[in-house]
Amino acid sequence: MKMALSFAVAVVASMLSASHAAKLTLSSPTVANGRTLPDVHVYNDDGCTGANRSPALSWSGAPAGTKSFAVTVHDPDAPHEGGWWHWLVFDISAGARGLPEGAGNGAGLPAGAIESRTDFGKPGYGGACPPPGNPHRYVFAVYALKTAKLGLKSDDAPAKVDGAIRHNSLGQATITALYGQ
């Protein structure tokens, strides 16, 4: 009986420990869930007058087996089939815990990380710039990946990169900001 009770306690403790296991989280000092995207992260062209700087992002709680990370920014509300890809970065080393502000503008990407083409037609961060009307959602995501390298190039199409990221994902965390004109 005592052995059965000890086993039951160990099983319950294991279940509690698993339910409190680290979960991948994403944070930013300037981008907040459900809040308006600051002008510093808004595009600077096509009628938009932001600074077009990628935000600082940090993450923690990577699942076991994480070999790299990917970061994306997507507008699912864009009047374009499949939404609009604003930023795709992959092959970020497993030791990375974030990206500094401006990393998507050529300053501060970790060694070996690759930015791929966005719907703006070139690699790098392109800020929010929706058409006039209702605010759009901008989904900033970090993915923990089961592979160190995706085997993709900077000129690969956003949909191809997104597919490879999702296929290799062990987990993701997001922040969804809003912006409208």
**Predicted confidence (pLDDT) per residue in 45-94, tens digit:** 989 999 999 999 999 999 999 999 999 999 999 999 999 999 999 999 99
Question: What is the chain's alpha carbon radius of gyration, rounded to the nearest angstrom?
Answer: 19
Give the global pTM: 0.88
Domains defined along the chain, listed by start: 23-179 (3.90.280.10)
- Percent of the chain clearing pLDDT 90 (strictly above): 85
**Do 69 and 96 form a contact (C-beta atoms < 8 A)?**
yes
Per-residue pLDDT band for 23 (boundaries 50, 70, 90) equals very high
Count of CB atoms situated within 10 Å of the CB of 84: 23
The three-state secondary structure class of 158 is helix
Q: Is the pLDDT of residue 11 over 60?
A: no
What per-residue confidence (pLDDT) applies to 106? 75
The three-state secondary structure class of 60 is strand
What per-residue confidence (pLDDT) applies to 21? 57
Count of CB atoms situated within 10 Å of the CB of 177: 24
